[in-house]
A and B are shown apart, each in its own frame.
Chain A
Amino acid sequence: LVPPPRLRELIRTIRTARTQAEEREMIQKECAAIRSSFREEDNTYRCRNVAKLLYMHMLGYPAHFGQLECLKLIASQKFTDKRIGYLGAMLLLDERQDVHLLMTNCIKNDLNHSTQYVQGLALCTLGCMGSSEMCRDLAGEVEKLLKTSNSYLRKKAALCAVHVIRKVPELMEMFLPATKNLLSEKNHGVLHTSVVLLTEMCERSPDMLSHFRKLVPQLVRILKNLIMSGYSPEHDVSGISDPFLQVRILRLLRILGRSDDDSSEAMNDILAQVATNTETSKNVGNAILYETVLTIMDIKSESGLRVLAINILGRFLLNNDKNIRYVALTSLLKTVQTDHNAVQRHRSTIVDCLKDLDVSIKRRAMELSFALVNGNNIRGMMKELLYFLDSCDPEFKADCASGVFLAAEKYAPSKRWHIDTIMRVLTTAGSYVRDDSVPNLIQLITNSVEMHAYTVQRLYKALLDDISQQPLVQVSSWCIGEYGDLLVSGQCEEEEPIQVTEDEVLDVLEGLLVSNLSTPVTRGYALTAIMKLSTRFSSVNRIKKVVSIYGSSIDVELQQRAVEYNALFKKYDHMRPALLERMPIMEKTATNGPTEIVQTNGETEPSVLDTKHPPPVTQPANQVRGVIISKYAGLHLCNLYIGIPPMTAYNKNGLKIEFTFERANPNPNIAVITIHASNSTEADMTDFVFQAAVPKTFQLQLLSPSSNVVPALNQGTVTQVIRVLNPQKQQLRMRIKLTYTHKGSPVQDLAEVNNFPPQSWQ
């Protein structure tokens, strides 16, 4: 009978395969042979066959039929068998398999074996993948071995105990007595694993933590010996004695010293000593310094020591080794809040890291730079950050732009500087700016009254150069709509006023409407801007014509707007001036998130314009206009009853439904709710159907929706009007049902809407 091929023979054979198919064939053939060998209960070659199976498993082929065989190998008396058996168990089994539990008895026997290497195998396997039940069953054996004088076994028992505690935390107590003498060991392996065990216990239990605080002097002594001792060949790494143990001790000291003054004081000297004496020319020394810094920053250290730690980090930033620079930036980021002034001293080095070639370093340097910006350094820092914005990879631009806006808002030394900074971001990184920046910028510009002429001029000039960057185009359109009169009358004081005619301005805005580069949202902005100019420019006829053309636009949003504006011209022309008046200074309100700004001019009369039904004739012209500037719709005149804030009724899986309210005069018992559905996912939601039901005391009428496609990426909304009759003036509640198709699959959801503002039904 031919013995099965050896492991290395098989490996050699498989590696000769030239294609995946050839390899698969070889493997299937060998697996078949191995399976029959297993069936025949062949003891001699079981080990060889399982080893081969493990190789094939690593190549990605299934090997589950070998699981039981591993158990048989573990139960064998031969060491060779046990070695492969335990390895196989660790590779093929985990606690999910029932087979796994069958190992328990074998492990128990092997833990008591006469050969320490067999005991070692059992400890290793238990400590790597023992399930909770196994740990419960065998914890006693582990505890026994933790007290042995055999250092080979003791170190393994310690880590095995760590695993047991991680799996079954209640068993922690039973290991307490065995820890008594652990730190008196001379053997580094035992010392190291003991420190790990003590760390695990202290991290899990405040009682253990208090109990072990008394070990601080001993730990300090061990650490001191490591540093002061001469060359020890067994533990030396580039002139440093057992860096692994040093780091683990420093970490345990951190946990013991945290929030404890006495312990922190007891370790103060040794930390200072390590911090000043450790060799920094190689990675190993820096690894120790790094851990030392982390410990100093986490315990109750005196300020001198903290400054020392931060200075070490500052020096790390100048190190040639990228890894060390990276680690320094990460640590500084963690401490910048608590030790702000100390970190500030290293600002210029941090800023230099913006020019680093490594992407991870650049990102951290950017985050840290923003954290360091304050009123004193804003001009200098912004210069660096804007330069970074110009030249950085696209993956950074959005975050950097947002960071610049935030910093500018907090610390701008002047309004002019602020506008210039915004301009710079919009023109250099305009396509990466986040959508929600647009309303914020609009508010900022509105509130910088003396800069209006300058701002609109600069934005207009930017549009002449480039209309591809949507946030820039949107802000510019809005500005031109608001301040177009200042533009054509050449009122700019900050710089040379440009000569531009009304027609030229309208050319630019109309150009945006037809350009392929403009998104639907941008077109909305452009059309609204044109409309607003009807009260600022004299070319009203031209504007009327544009607006009427778009009354039949395919884009539903644009069409709706145009229709409203047409209505303004035709039926409500007397209201037009008031409605399109210059915006006063806005206050942000917290409705529906930071991207919505509700603007009022303080009057309290109800709203006027009803785009779907004729308004009551009795309303005088100078009414409060309420406008919602939403991040999707720009300036959009819509139904608004001042005092009833809009609400988000539903927001899940990318579908957001907002409700806006008005009262339908003459019947004050009817609330008219308009739903606005928007979709932030990448695929359209088609066959969209919105249904609503109300409690018995109410009556509901649902009018037809604007469409049943909610376009992807917030490129438009579906609107629908609901009329609710509430004669008993009860609290409004609603149950809604949404159905739509998304990426080919039908979606259905039910939701309760209970957060109606009281003014909508009172």
Chain B
Amino acid sequence: GMRFLLLFSRQGRLRLQKWFTPTPEREKKKIIRDMTTMVLARKPRSCNFLHWRDLKIVYKRYASLYFCLALEDQDNELLALEILHRYVELLDKYFGNVCELDIIFNFEKAYFILDEFLMGGEIQETSKQIVNRSIEASDMLQETMEEYMSKPAF
């Protein structure tokens, strides 16, 4: 199963952190430091896989954001690339041409979408449409629209 998912910018600023196993706060900070250092140091045309401790790290850059997923030994790295891609597609559909600013200003939505796609380190739903529909339906349930506009201005 997946252990954690991190999104960070090219300057190493964290944009999202999802931990699939209980991890102490100090350990989280250390892992974030290690991941950003390692991934940002990679040469441009390297493969997308790294080894770190006993985990396989799969990372991919989309525009200005790095997506970094930690896998256990029995997990399929090539499929992990598809998982990252699927998450980006979901974000893209929701925000319409998603960019880093969308994730910064609407981080809670990024989490909501993630929580419809993955759970406890495993894939929860394999259909794009079902995930999108669930998010839209949940948004509709919100009592105050002023907090959550579908494409907020910034």
Secondary structure class of chain A's binding surface, majority of residues = helix
- Among residues of A, the one whose C-beta sits closest to the C-beta of B42 is A359
Verify B154–A8 contact, CB threshold 8 A. yes
Verify B119–A128 contact, CB threshold 8 A. yes
Complex CA gap A621/B60 in Å reads: 74
Q: Chain A CB within 10 Å — which of B29, B126, B146 has the most?
A: B126
Complex CA gap A155/B131 in Å reads: 12
**A261 / chain B contacts, CB cutoff of 8 Å:** none
Complex CA gap A95/B141 in Å reads: 30
Verify A128–B127 contact, CB threshold 8 A. no
A47 at the interface (CB under 8 A from B): yes
Complex CA gap A84/B143 in Å reads: 13
A345 at the interface (CB under 8 A from B): no
Verify B147–A189 contact, CB threshold 8 A. no
Complex CA gap A58/B15 in Å reads: 7
Q: Which of A58, A235, A323, A357 contacts B14 (CB 8 A)?
A: A58
**B146 / chain A contacts, CB cutoff of 8 Å:** 6
**B37 / chain A contacts, CB cutoff of 8 Å:** none
Within 8 A of A (CB), among B93-126: 104-108, 111-112, 115-116, 119-120, 122-126
Within 8 A of B (CB), among A229-257: 234-235, 237, 242-245, 247-248, 251
Verify B126–A192 contact, CB threshold 8 A. yes
B63 at the interface (CB under 8 A from A): no
Complex CA gap A417/B104 in Å reads: 63
Verify B119–A127 contact, CB threshold 8 A. yes
**B86 / chain A contacts, CB cutoff of 8 Å:** 237
Verify B123–A192 contact, CB threshold 8 A. yes
Complex CA gap A526/B120 in Å reads: 63
Shortest C-beta distance, A606 to chain B (Å), equals 53
**B112 / chain A contacts, CB cutoff of 8 Å:** 83, 87
A79 at the interface (CB under 8 A from B): yes
**B51 / chain A contacts, CB cutoff of 8 Å:** 360
**A327 / chain B contacts, CB cutoff of 8 Å:** 49, 77-78
Verify B138–A152 contact, CB threshold 8 A. no
Verify B134–A322 contact, CB threshold 8 A. no
- Among residues of B, the one whose C-beta sits closest to the C-beta of A162 is B120
B20 at the interface (CB under 8 A from A): yes
Complex CA gap A722/B10 in Å reads: 62
Using C-beta atoms within 8 Å of the partner chain, give the interface range for chain B. Answer: 35 or more
Verify A117–B138 contact, CB threshold 8 A. yes
Complex CA gap A51/B122 in Å reads: 26
> Known contacts being A83-B138, A87-B112, A96-B22, is A8 close to B82, with CB within 8 Å?
no
Shortest C-beta distance, B154 to chain A (Å), equals 6
> Known contacts being A162-B120, A361-B47, is A7 close to B147, with CB within 8 Å?
yes
Within 8 A of B (CB), among A298-328: 322-327
Complex CA gap A162/B2 in Å reads: 13
Complex CA gap A193/B116 in Å reads: 13
Complex CA gap A247/B75 in Å reads: 10
**A504 / chain B contacts, CB cutoff of 8 Å:** none
> Which of A282-290, A460-468, A534-542, A694-702 forms contacts with chain B?
A282-290
Complex CA gap A15/B78 in Å reads: 36
Verify A360–B122 contact, CB threshold 8 A. no
> Known contacts being A11-B104, A54-B108, A322-B46, is A155 close to B79, with CB within 8 Å?
no
Complex CA gap A361/B49 in Å reads: 10
Verify A159–B122 contact, CB threshold 8 A. yes
Complex CA gap A731/B15 in Å reads: 67
Q: Mark A186-202, 1 if CB is under 8 A from B, else 0.
A: 00110011001000000
Verify A156–B124 contact, CB threshold 8 A. yes
A interface residues (Cβ-Cβ under 8 A, vs B): 6-8, 11-12, 15, 47-48, 51, 54-55, 58-60, 78-80, 83-84, 87, 91, 94-96, 115, 117, 120, 124, 127-129, 152, 155-156, 159-160, 162-163, 188-189, 192-193, 196, 234-235, 237, 242-245, 247-248, 251, 283-284, 286-287, 290-291, 294, 322-327, 357-361
New A-B contacts (4) at CB < 8 Å, excluding given A80-B148, A237-B86, A247-B79? A83-B112, A127-B120, A192-B124, A234-B130
9 contacts between A and B (CB under 8 A): A6-B147, A8-B106, A58-B17, A87-B111, A160-B119, A244-B126, A287-B76, A326-B47, A327-B77
Closest 5 A-B residue pairs measured CB to CB? A287-B78, A322-B47, A189-B125, A287-B79, A79-B141
